[in-house]
């Protein structure tokens, strides 16, 4: 039995749900439906979306014609688009660097001008109301913001009108900029005296490669400040009413990456102790490797009826959830057609969610006691 749901603004309605259902808890009925997801409907910046080029249009003033948001048809076209995109942006990036350098030099006193600061800012899982006050202040004061795909459109609306945005997002098989190119962009603009903000979905230091960027810049003498964000595990679990740890149910929580370093179908690493039934597993970027991951967990002893949930585009109006037991999990996700970004939570705490469709004594008692 599995449950596929699309629940906008669930957290604001959770209290009302509990008050009307606490005395007569019943299992949530199974519901399957398919919805067509397009780049234009995504709450995030898809790689060739119209929104991306509109947001970054300042970069293409020197290019003729303007870049087309039409998606390439094959991998060779992807490479061409990436290289052409970077070449089209280069004149305006150089011009902005010159303007910033001149501004820095004219404002210097005594000829002692230090570099600008770089802020690694976590924007949370998508809902702009989950931003910290410090993150909002820094976003609104930046000269240049390099943003990832999983920074939501609503968060980007907070950017000051005179600031410059540059998309550096990555998806499987397409990196608009390599990590090394991102490093060099951050360094070049910081050396020009700019206040540079690196916007990342979730938390910069949780599977966000923020540590690599911080290490590189600090070695070059650039001051880096990290502003933490609510990582997807915390934000999405809260949205569903799932405690990641719970006395008597889960004594620890473990974050895993589902990415294979070589791009294969196996997850990067699954140790035997990851199959601990008293541990909650949270898998980031795990859609492609989930079938192998689920099987390995069961092979290592995790019960096949372990509750699990996959959450697509969590905390946004387009959130969809798939609940299932581990043995059926990969099949149910495939049937629902979930797309990236999807977070996966595996463990007994999942059935403590008021949305868990399986009626068990433990979950019923928990809901009734609230």
List, in order, residues 6 or more apart from 232 with CB less than 8 Å away.
Answer: 125, 201, 202, 284, 314, 341, 343
The reply to whether 47 belongs to the active site is no
Q: Specify the residue for token string 């202040």.
A: 137
Contact 233, 343 (CB under 8 A): yes
Q: How far apart are the first and last CA of the chain?
A: 26
Catalytic entry in 127, 276, 285, 348: 285
Catalytic entry in 18, 103, 170, 327: 170
List, in order, residues 6 or more apart from 324 with CB less than 8 Å away.
Answer: 1, 2, 3, 308, 309, 331, 332, 333
Three-class secondary structure of residue 202 per DSSP: strand
Instruction: Please give the full DSSP string across 205-223, using - where no structure is assigned.
Output: TSSS-HHHHHHHHHHTT--
List, in order, residues 6 or more apart from 309 with CB less than 8 Å away.
Answer: 240, 242, 321, 322, 323, 324, 344, 345, 350, 353
The reply to whether 170 belongs to the active site is yes
The reply to whether 148 belongs to the active site is yes
Catalytic entry in 85, 117, 143, 148: 148
Question: What is the CB neighbour count within 10 angstroms for residue 219?
Answer: 9
Q: What angle do CA 50, 53, 57 make, to 5 degrees?
A: 140
Three-class secondary structure of residue 150 per DSSP: coil
- Integer angstrom CA distances of residue 326 from 37, 155, 236, 264, 330: 26, 34, 19, 21, 8
Element (H, E) at 364: helix 361-368
Residues 79-107 as b or e (16 or more Cβ within 10 Å = b): eebbeebeebbeebbeebbeebbeebeee
Give me the active site residues, please. 148, 170, 285
């Amino acid at each position: 039995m599995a449950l596929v749901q699309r629940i906008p603004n669930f957290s604001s309605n959770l209290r009302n749900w509990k008050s009307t259902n606490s005395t007569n808890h019943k299992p949530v009925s199974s519901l399957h439906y398919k919805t067509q997801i397009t780049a234009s409907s995504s709450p995030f910046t898809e790689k060739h979306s119209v929104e991306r080029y509109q947001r970054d249009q300042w970069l293409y003033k020197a290019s003729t014609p303007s870049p087309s948001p039409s998606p390439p048809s094959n991998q060779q076209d992807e490479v061409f688009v990436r290289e052409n995109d970077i070449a089209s942006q280069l004149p305006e990036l150089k011009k902005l660097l010159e303007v910033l350098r001149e501004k820095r030099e004219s404002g210097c006193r005594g000829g002692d001008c230090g570099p600008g600061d770089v802020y690694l800012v976590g924007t949370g899982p998508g809902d702009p109301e989950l931003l910290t006050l410090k993150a909002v202040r820094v976003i609104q004061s930046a000269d240049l913001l390099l943003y990832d795909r999983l920074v939501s459109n609503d968060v980007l609306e907070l950017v000051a009108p005179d600031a410059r945005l540059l998309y550096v997002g990555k998806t499987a098989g397409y990196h608009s900029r390599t990590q090394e190119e991102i490093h060099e962009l951050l360094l070049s603009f910081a050396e020009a005296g700019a206040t540079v903000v690196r916007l990342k979905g979730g938390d910069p230091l949780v599977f966000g490669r923020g540590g690599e960027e911080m290490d590189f810049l600090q070695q070059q003498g650039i001051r880096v400040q990290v502003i933490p964000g609510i990582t997807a595990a915390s934000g999405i679990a809260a949205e569903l009413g799932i405690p990641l740890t719970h006395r008597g149910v889960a004594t620890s929580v473990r974050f895993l990456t589902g990415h294979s370093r070589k791009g294969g179908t196996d997850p990067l690493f699954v140790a035997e102790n990851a199959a601990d039934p008293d541990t909650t597993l949270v898998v980031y970027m795990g859609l492609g490797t989930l079938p192998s991951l689920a099987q390995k967990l069961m092979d290592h002893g995790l019960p096949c009826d372990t509750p699990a949930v996959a959450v697509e585009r969590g905390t946004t109006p387009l959130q969809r959830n798939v609940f299932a037991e581990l043995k059926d999990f990969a099949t149910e996700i495939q049937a629902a057609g979930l797309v990236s970004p999807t977070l996966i939570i595996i463990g007994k705490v999942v059935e403590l969610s008021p949305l868990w469709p399986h009626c068990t004594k433990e979950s019923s008692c928990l809901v009734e006691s609230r």
